[in-house]
Structure 1
Amino acid sequence: MLSGQNRMRSSADFSTTVRSRARSGRRNLLLYAAPAPEQRPTAFGFIVSKAVGNAVTRNLVKRRLREIAALSLKDHPEGLAVVARALPAAATAEFPELRSDYGKAFSAAVARVRPARPVDTASTEKGSDE
């Protein structure tokens, strides 16, 4: 379960994250990610509209997304703001399918937020000669 410090609550935080350029979509969801200050814990927000289904279905989808987000928090405990927007297909998706879509979208969005640093071969070669 996500603690209070890892939940996004203000509309300004949602807007900033959704307007970021790091977006990744899958069949069941769209995921937006933005960098947050390194010392701030990673925060997650969830958007599940009425297009997903009735209140019972929307709450089920939100609970599943919160649980999946809590699992991804272990790898990225700080420095990210993430918003997951459930698409109508999420209403009929099973938990493993939703988790797979979330994992792929999360990896792609985080890669856009935190590009891999190129390895400096010159310093590596210099260190091996000594």
Structure 2
Amino acid sequence: MLSTAHRVRTAKDFSHTVRSGARSGCRNLVLYAVGTGTENPSRFGFIVSKNVGNAVTRNLVKRRLREAAAAALVRRPLGLDVVVRALPSSASAGWPELSSDFERCLASSAKRSIKNSSGRTGDGT
């Protein structure tokens, strides 16, 4: 279970991360990540729509993604806001496949978001 400090909770934070974050996609999910600075804790949010399946299936997918996020927090405890959008194929994916997709997308998005945030000057240029 992710603590409140490690969850993206507001609609504003979700839309900011999705709109301005670095996007990386795999077969089972799309992951958006935006750098928040090294002093802020990493936070994760999940979007699992009805296209994924019924309530039981969606909750299973969310539990698996939360577990993958908890494991990622050990390696990246600071500096990222991440939103994970589960695709319909995630319903039939097993734990090994879903977690490897999560790790691959997180590594790719995190690298790009940190590179993009360090390249900004803060004055709009």
Same fold (TM over 0.5): yes
Deviations 1:45-82, CA, capped at 9 Å, x for gaps: 00000000000000000000000000001111111100
Q: Helix, strand or coil: the match of 1:46?
A: strand
Q: Helix, strand or coil: the match of 2:70?
A: helix
- Measure the CA separation in 2 of the matches of 1:31 and 1:21: 9
Q: Which amino acid aligns with 1:13?
A: D
Is the Cα contact below 8 Å between 2:34 and 2:114 reproduced in 1? no
Q: Number of matched residues? A: 117
- Measure the CA separation in 1 of the matches of 2:20 and 2:71: 23
Residue 104 of structure 2 is matched in structure 1 by 104
TM-score (normalised: structure 1): 0.86
Residue 50 of structure 1 is matched in structure 2 by 50
Q: How does 1:1-130 map to 2 (within 5 A)?
A: 1-115=1-115
Distance 1:21 1:44, change over 3 A: closer
Q: Which structure has the bigger radius of gyration?
A: 1
- Measure the CA separation in 2 of the matches of 1:50 and 1:114: 32
Q: Which amino acid aligns with 1:8?
A: V
Q: Helix, strand or coil: the match of 1:83?
A: strand
- Measure the CA separation in 2 of the matches of 1:19 and 1:43: 16
What 5-or-longer segments of structure 2 have no aligned partner? 119-125
CA-CA distance at 1:39 after TM superposition:
1.6
CA-CA distance at 1:38 after TM superposition:
2.3
- Measure the CA separation in 2 of the matches of 1:102 and 1:68: 7
Deviations 1:59-106, CA, capped at 9 Å, x for gaps: 000000000000001111111100000000000000000001001100
What 5-or-longer segments of structure 1 have no aligned partner? 118-130
Q: Which amino acid aligns with 2:108?
A: A
- Measure the CA separation in 1 of the matches of 2:81 and 2:39: 12
CA-CA distance at 1:37 after TM superposition:
3.3
Q: Which runs of 4+ in 1 moved over 6 A?
A: none
Q: Helix, strand or coil: the match of 2:84?
A: strand
Is the Cα contact below 8 Å between 2:8 and 2:45 reproduced in 1? yes
Amino-acid identity (%) = 57
